[in-house]
Amino acid sequence: MWLMRQEDVARLAIGFMVLLLPYIGPYTVIPLAAVFFWDKNTRLLSASLIALLILRPALSISHMNLPLYVIAISFVASTFAPLAYRKFDGLAGSIMFLMITVALGFPVASLIAPAFLSSERILFLAILGGLSGAFLYHASSERDFTVPFGSCMVMWLFSFDYPLPDLERILLIFIFALVLGIGAYWAKAADSDAVMSATIICLLVILFGGLSWFFLLLAFYLLGGGFTRYGYRYKEKLGIAQSKGGVRGYKNVYSNSLVPLAMAICYGVYGSDLFVYAFIGAVATANGDTLASEIGETSKSPPIMITTLKEVEPGVDGGVTALGEAASLGGATIIGLLALGTGLSGISGMLAGVVGGFLGTNFDSLLGATLQSRGTLSNNGVNLIATAFGALVGGALWWIMQVI
């Protein structure tokens, strides 16, 4: 009992050291070192924060700036927020972790940040730190390392200068993305880790791309969740249904959304329509592949291997059916039409979605028949590479349009 109380006191002491950062900066390693030797249960946490404080001046030698206010938010995310998390479970715990990080991290970071830094940027980074920290705290077995380092690296990645909307709009976008994630959790379409992951992705896509970009991703999430339950009992009988009743985890979210996210961020930074077409191709691939799998698996005719055209058992990696191919084309077309309907692109952009999505889905099957069947790639790895291929096709079509 005493050891637990001592550990909690140690964690609180480490958390309150964030108040020393504006005054003694890197020398905060001294009291951190004292806690390191005092309490063995928090040594990894103390060592992780010490490493971040040492890393900051070391990076400055190569003209790279790791802001002190970012490290301050990591202090909050790895100390106060986890103590609040313990009182709850699952998604409720993750939301409490997020709220504590933002509520305490924002004012602390505001005290430390340079005067020219806007409140909008500090709030945005505090939200990112809370989301990534909550995800890592629940998903990782080495929380005292992954939470401070992981949340810090995510915030650092987005600490460069780019335009942001006002505070109220950032909060509205954040709440909107979080509520959608909670809705997916209640509908048993996503677990708590997937909610935090999807909220990060939606927040970034809306901020760097816009609402029309997000609507394409939302359509994929809704269609994917809906068609996972299509013919579920039949697929379950064959032993090829999605596990956990079709509830999606964070690996599925990231494997299908990282490439579209990267395209949205690149568009926000560089402004080229190349990334619009690549984004459409990537989302169309994700949607086409999901519908091809979930609908194609209910086909009454046996699938054929994409590489040999020989019949295989349902659920075998690389197996395709006429129904699945039609579903793939339909899924890609839906995304292309949405891109046209939302004003994200014109007819050529819709074509990028149809062609990129259909080719990307079949490239996914090709990878499944080769690298996945050999154990070189997992299903999530295949999805990630296939969406990158769909983005490449979409980008190539944009380039062809410029040439002709």
Per-residue confidence (pLDDT) for residue 341, from 0 to 100: 96
What is the residue type of 325?
E
Do 362 and 284 contact (CB within 8 A), yes or no? Answer: no
Q: How far is residue 129's CA from residue 147's CA, in Å, rounded to a whole number?
A: 9
- The yes-or-no verdict on residue 123 having pLDDT over 90 is yes
Whether residue 366 contacts residue 356, with contact meaning beta carbons closer than 8 Å, is answered with no
Taking only the tens place, the pLDDT of each residue in 82-121 is 988 888 878 999 999 999 999 999 999 999 999 899 999 9
* Structure confidence by residue, pLDDT tens digits, 277-328: 999 999 999 999 999 988 988 888 889 999 999 999 888 899 999 999 999 9
What is the per-residue pLDDT across 20-51, written as a single tens digit (0 to 9) for each? 999 999 999 999 999 999 999 999 999 999 99
Residue 1: band (very low, low, confident or very high) from pLDDT cuts 50, 70, 90:
very low
What angle do helix axes 250-270 and 192-208 make, rounded to 10 degrees?
10
- Which tens digits make up the pLDDT trace of 181-199? 999 999 888 899 999 999 9
Task: Give residue 2's pLDDT band: very low, low, confident or very high (50, 70, 90).
Answer: very low
3-state secondary structure of 248: strand
How far apart CA 115 and CA 111 sit, in angstroms, is 9
Residue 377 has pLDDT above 70, yes or no: yes
Confidence class for position 224, pLDDT limits 50, 70, 90: confident
